[in-house]
Amino acid sequence: MSKNALFSKKNRSLLTDPLDDNNPVTVQVLGICSALAITVQLEPAIVMALSVLFVMSVANVVVSLMRRLIPSRIRIIVELVVIATLVILVDEVLKAFAYDVSKELTVFVGLIITNCIIMGRLEAFALANSPWESFLDGLGNAFGYGWILIVVAFFRELFGSGTLYGYPVLENLGIYDLGYENNGMMILPPMALITVGIIIWIQRMRNKKLIESN
Amino acid sequence: MNINSNLYTIGFACAMVVFVAALLASMSIRLTPYQDRNIELEKKQNILQSVGIDVERDSSEIPYSQFIKEELVLDMNGNILEGTAFNVDLAVELKKNIEDQRLPLYISILEDSSKCFIIPLRGKGLWGPIWGYIALKEDINTVFGAVFDHKGETPGLGAEINQSFFQEPFTDKKIFNEDNEFVSIMVKKGGAPEGSLHAVDAISGGTITSDGVTDMIKERVGRYIPYLEKNKPIEDDTTIIINLTSQIYE
């Protein structure tokens, strides 16, 4: 157990690093597949971000608690079982008590299980650190993943469908009367990659630390 | 203890599997009644939607019993079998041969005392099953309304079949042509011809799901033709003659 205070400088950086300097999507380029699949609209992106937040932080804590018990030869399988169990639990509870959200989510359950960020954090962090630090690390990475997802979805929904969270923004602003048309390309997966690319570009313009020195 | 010995590894794996299985199974058993209830209420909500009654899922029970008057189960020749339509699981029935299939049919009487025949639909989309309900007016030809839903069609493309902009054009379309042949309703790529009575616009980028809707309506509604033919109202000409005769005698 770490002797540091709960929110020591080191622990705070666990939470904030993944937002920018060590962002799982834009710096480590992980979890790209789900960023393509569910960012057509804001709502699924937000639901996905919240589900990943829950699964990642709890899985990190569970694996961290078991870290001295897990045989190293089957550790990947154990990690996968922990993630899959959590995802199924979440899905079952949602189906019973938040049916509409679960209908939105069911398609993406498989994607959460295969999300390489979660596996990556369990493998790289939770197996070697205390539960509290692992929890912070899980939260931080989930936020880092979530904000990228939401920003990408914001632009794709706005330019692709002219709506935000299902609300017809452009129609109400009267943009269509000026001859504007939705860009159908934004709905297609390649534009998610390009949007992520633009975010990476802007991030590297601001944050010189990220630029490799070759 | 050596946590990397073979014995420990196998023991750990077994214990983990048993624990996880027990946890998930007990959760599933506890939550199933709630989940089934949600599914049942949603089914009632969808059936009501096809006849133009919009209710929240949680409050679909009362209007359902108020407007849905009959829940019939038919065989392929249009004979009424025992049982109630609500308990027929179309996913199961569709796996059987048509001779053995039970066809559920709902009959609703609306506030203006008009009668609707509601036919449950189920077919294949691009990624998984699609389903819905189509309500026919009393003339057993004109569509009163239709609702569709899907398990996992592509968001923004095929998944849009559950949106009203796709469903509304089905209203007032006809399933029989002028020669009284069953032509169903086609979801047409590139847009339905202006004024067409038997086609609606497909969704751009959702061609396979749209075709799935076409096939589903044709296959499912087609199965009910024997029953519908038997229950067709008296031809309009006859009604006019009867009216005329009664006027003469007055």
In what helix (H) or strand (E) does residue A34 lie, and over which residues does it extend? helix A32-37
B205–A187 C-beta distance less than 8 A: yes
From B28, B155, B204, residue closest to A92, measured CB to CB: B28
How high does pLDDT run on average in chain B?
Answer: 87
β strands within B57-125, DSSP E:
68-74, 80-81, 103-109, 115-124
Mean of the pLDDT values across residues B36-57? 90
Q: What confidence tens digit (pLDDT) does each residue in B211-234 have?
A: 999 999 999 999 998 898 888 776
Helix (H) or strand (E) holding A198: helix A190-206
Q: What count of other Cβ atoms lies within 10 Å of the Cβ of residue B77?
A: 9
Phi then psi for B186, rounded to 5 degrees? -100, 140
pTM over 0.90: no
CA angle B62, B63, B66 (to 5 degrees): 90
User: Could you give phi then psi for residue A127, rounded to 5 degrees?
Assistant: -70, -15
Angle at A44 between CA A21 and CA B44, to 5 degrees: 160
Q: Is A122 on the interface with B (CB under 8 A)?
A: no
Pair of tokens at residue B117: 């025949």
Distance from CA of B28 to the nearest CA of A (A): 7
Mutate: best of B3, B43, B153, partner A, most A CBs <10 A: B3
B51: nearest Cα among B104, B90, B103, B109: B109
Q: What percent of chain B has pLDDT over 90?
A: 44
Q: What is the pLDDT of residues A62-80, one digit of tens each?
A: 999 999 999 999 999 999 9
- Give the residue carrying structure tokens 């939105």: A104
Contact call for residues B205 and B157 (beta carbons, < 8 A): yes
- Is residue A2's pLDDT more than 50? no
How many beta-carbon pairs under 8 angstroms link A with B?
68
The secondary structure of residue B101, as a DSSP letter, is -
- Residue (of A44, A22, A41, A54) closest to A118 by Cα position: A54
Going by C-alpha positions, the residue among B174, B156, B203, B69 that lies closest to residue A166 is B156
- Spatial separation of the C-alpha atoms in residues B143 and B171, rounded to whole Å: 5
